[in-house]
Amino acid sequence: VIHTFKANYRKSLVKHIIASCSTAQTTSDITITALDAVCWIDSAWKSVTKSTIQNTFTAAGFKQQQIDPLPCIIPPDTTNGASSTSNELLLMDFGMNEETKVLDNLLKHVVTSGSTMNANEFINIDSHAPTFNEWNDDSERLVTFDNIIQSNELDDDEEKINEETPPKLCETIEMVRRLRLFSITQSPQLHQAIIGIESMLTDIYLDSKTSVQSTLDSYFKKT
């Protein structure tokens, strides 16, 4: 359950970083607000299905006969009455591997100090972090969130053009980034929808980067 949650949360985080890199000049230009984190947490938790939770308890040895097995849960072995725990674990591993594979592909586009991090390293990066505050924590460790102040730039008056030129992909990503700022400061109810649009645009951007160039043979076959 925790692995699935963390994989989906960090998938949203990496997509946001990739989308911000198209306009950011330095790492400090990539901002993550508390509202971003809340929306990603909500989306990541919704990705944890009922079957994932039930499979986790089943694989751990918890049984409740009153609950009908879900379709993805392997029923107990009828030959000896024992639960096919190993098979259930394999089924859970398959689901986790799918989430890890998606995150792995995203991380290939993020380079830190000349090297990349794989999905398992990124998911388990905080495995040893304390889940509670130590008594000797210093006050400097408290994290404060600064309000983002973004001044709206007024466009110069220009003559109206009958035919508007469609924006490029990078320009569209920048527009969505500005919409995120608008939702943060004025309309939080729009934030979840804007994050979804940003995620889809990032997928389109990544697909355009990984598209395979046509060979001469394939070109002449088309003609």
Q: Give the model confidence (pLDDT) of 109-131 as tens digits.
A: 776 666 777 777 777 777 777 66
Share of the chain above pLDDT 90, in %: 0
| 216, part of any domain | no
- Is the pLDDT at 221 greater than 50? The verdict is yes
Range of the domain at 104: 2-127+168-208
Q: Is the pLDDT of residue 141 over 60?
A: no
Residue 163: its pLDDT value, please? Answer: 64
Q: For residue 47, tell me if it sits in a domain.
A: yes
As a whole number, mean pLDDT of residues 15-42 equals 83
Start-to-end C-alpha separation, the chain:
51
Contact predicate 199/15, CB 8 Å: yes
Q: What's residue 79's pLDDT?
A: 44
pLDDT of residue 191: 86
Separation between Cα atoms, residue 184 and residue 215, nearest integer Å: 46
- Do the domain assignments include residue 93? yes
92 assigned to some structural domain: yes
In a domain, 147, yes or no: no
Please state, rounded to an integer, the average pLDDT across all residues of the chain.
70
* Crossing angle between the packed helical segments 34-46 and 2-21, to the nearest 10 degrees: 140
How does pLDDT run across 200-214, given as a tens digit for each residue? 888 888 888 775 555
Indicate whether 120 belongs to any domain: yes
User: Is 159 domain-assigned?
Assistant: no
pLDDT per residue over 37-85, tens digit each? 898 898 888 888 887 788 778 877 777 654 555 554 444 444 444 444 4
**Range 71-102 burial, b when 16+ CB lie within 10 A, else e:** ebbbeeeeeeeebbeeebeebbeebbeebbee
The structure tokens 């905080």 sit at: 126
Domain count, the chain: 1
- Whether residue 146 is predicted with pLDDT greater than 50 in this model: the reply is no
Say whether pLDDT at 161 is over 50.
no
pLDDT band for position 164 (50/70/90)? low
The answer, as to whether pTM is greater than 0.75, is no
In a domain, 65, yes or no: yes
Instruction: Give dist(CA 6, CA 2) in Å, integer.
Output: 6
